[in-house]
Amino acid sequence: MYNDKESFITFTERDGFDKNQKLKCKLYPYSEEGYSLLELCCYYGAIDCFKFLITKFDSEITEKCLELSFLGRNQEIMSECLKHQEPDEECMKYAIISHNIDFVTFLMNEYNIDIDLYWCGLYNNLESFLVCLNQTDDITKCFVYSPIFNIPSFLEYFLSHGENVKQQDEYGKTALHIAAMKNSKENAEILISHGANINEKDKYEKTALHIATYNNSKETAEVLILHGANINENNKNGEIALHIAAMNNSKETAELLISHGANINEKDEYGETVLHNAVHYNSKETAELLILHGANINENNKNGEIALHIAAMNNSKETAELLILHGANINEKDEYGETVLHNAVHYNSKETAEVLILHGANINEKYQDGKTALRIAAKKNSKEIVEFLISHGANINEKYQDGNTALHIAAMKNSKEIVELLISHGANINEQDQYGKTALHIAAMKNSKEIAELLISHGANINEQDQYGETALHIATYYNSKETAELLISHSTKK
């Protein structure tokens, strides 16, 4: 960061120094894999450290090195990177962000990379926008994006020179879409007064109202509605503006839309209502508003899920309580037969599972091939949930379609803590599945020596045979489970 070469050299001489290490930090542009030391030298413009890494470790100059050099603004680093990499659109983006007009014009003139007008607006780089306007023939695109700076006189300049107010960019966006995005109320009014089509859709079938709602541009949304925007227009995904307000927990915008006739129970292409959306994104305040205005709490989506299923998936305890308070069906099943409780346990949503049980969820309800919440919890190794389910009456020895009990499942998953817990609450250790196998057979198959030991210490029958006449020792031998086989032999000898 400070281009302190001496300190950096000392850092590289420490024991365990990894020249290929990657670093992550929220301060850097997002990168899934992180950044190399050389890339960070480019980001910070640390020329001396940059040269040292190349000389000492022959560090590779990557595409990211070049891109980040436009943020670091060190021309010597940039020149070196340009010898190894070709600039791309990301370089232009960073040049715009850094507000270095020389970098922007260099990329445009030398490498024919377009100036991205969206990034100019987002980072308030009017100078780069004007360079694009002066040096390209794409005046139409400049007009479409002119509201992004929220300068009405700038927009009026284009209109006074005859630009068509209905003009669209390559994504189908009009100037009104851009005004809606930036909450440029005055610009929106100017465009509407010049004949802008309020209900024009972009390539994703979004209207200006969809975009205003997505960006929480309430004032502009109000202008659009007052001038006749279709409140219940669907986008490509079948969503109306109210779906989007719910997604963003934009309660005030949602109120505005509802007061002007938005359909609260409108479904998108997945059959999800606005309430489903609100719960998906944990938008509790908006969910509350929707319920108060008559949203159907038990409406199913295409998977047969009600909003409460989704609250359970997301462990949205407070939202779940709100839905239950207003009549959500706790034992509702989706198209696979899963109840809300099954969902909560699947997603390890302990707090929501507790709420459901305390409000009367059927703890032993089965789905598909006889699975219960306890079986799911055992399979997920969710000790706290297993404990809670048992304490509220879950049937420990319940058999599923395959004849397995929760104990079989826990042994299969090598979940020693769960096995211990089930045994302490009275699980039948010698219960057999449809093939006659006990939990000990399973432990032998998985070479789970500790679980086998635990089962034996609580009375598991070492010589129990399955339907093929095989004991746990036969199974251990077949699966080459040496440690478990030795354990079984040692206990057979004692007898």
Helix, strand, coil percentages, rounded to 5, for the chain: 55, 0, 45
Q: Give pLDDT, residue 430.
A: 97
Q: Quick one: tokens of 3?
A: 């281009």
Contact 103, 92 (CB under 8 A): no
Cα separation of 487 and 491, whole Å?
6
What's the pLDDT score for residue 453? 96
**Which residues does the chain have with pLDDT short of 50?**
none
Q: Residue 480: what are its φ and ψ, rounded to 5°?
A: 55, 40
Token pair recorded at residue 56: 């000492």
Residue 3 confidence (pLDDT): 86
What is the C-alpha to C-alpha distance for residues 175 and 146, in angstroms, rounded to an integer? 7
pLDDT at 59: 95
Q: Domain with 62 in it: what CATH number?
A: 1.25.40
Predicted local distance difference test score (pLDDT) of residue 138: 83
Does the residue 101 lie in any domain? no
For 252-303, the pLDDT digits (tens) are 999 999 999 999 999 999 999 999 999 999 999 999 999 999 999 999 999 9
* Cβ-based burial of 480 (10 A; exposed 0-12, middle 13-18, buried ≥19): exposed
Question: pTM score, two decimals?
Answer: 0.88
State whether residue 304 is helix, strand or coil: coil
Q: Looking at residue 400, what is its pLDDT? A: 87
What was the pLDDT predicted at 370?
85
Helices 185-193 and 218-226, axial angle in degrees (round to 10): 20
Give the position of tokens 């990168």: 31
What total number of domains does the chain contain? 1
Is residue 300 a part of any domain in this protein?
A: no
Domain-embedded: residue 457: no
Phi-psi region of 34 (alpha: psi -120 to 50; beta: other; left: phi over 0): left
Determine, yes or no, domain membership for 205: no
Cβ within 8 Å of residue 486, ≥6 positions away: none
Answer yes or no: is 166 within a domain: no
What is the structure's pLDDT at 493? 67
Phi, psi angles (nearest 5°) of residue 325: -55, -30
Q: What CA–CA distance (Å, rounded) separates 114 from 164?
A: 23
Domain with 27, as residue range(s), is 1-85
Residue 50 included in any domain: yes
Q: For residues 412 and 448, is the Cβ–Cβ distance under 8 A? A: no
Q: Mind listing the pLDDT tens digit for each residue in 406-457?
A: 999 999 999 999 999 999 999 999 999 999 999 999 999 999 999 999 999 9
Residue-level pLDDT at 369: 79
Whether residue 393 is contained in a domain is answered as no
Answer whether residue 329 is part of any domain: no
Nearest alpha-carbon partner for 246 in 299, 284, 305, 286: 286
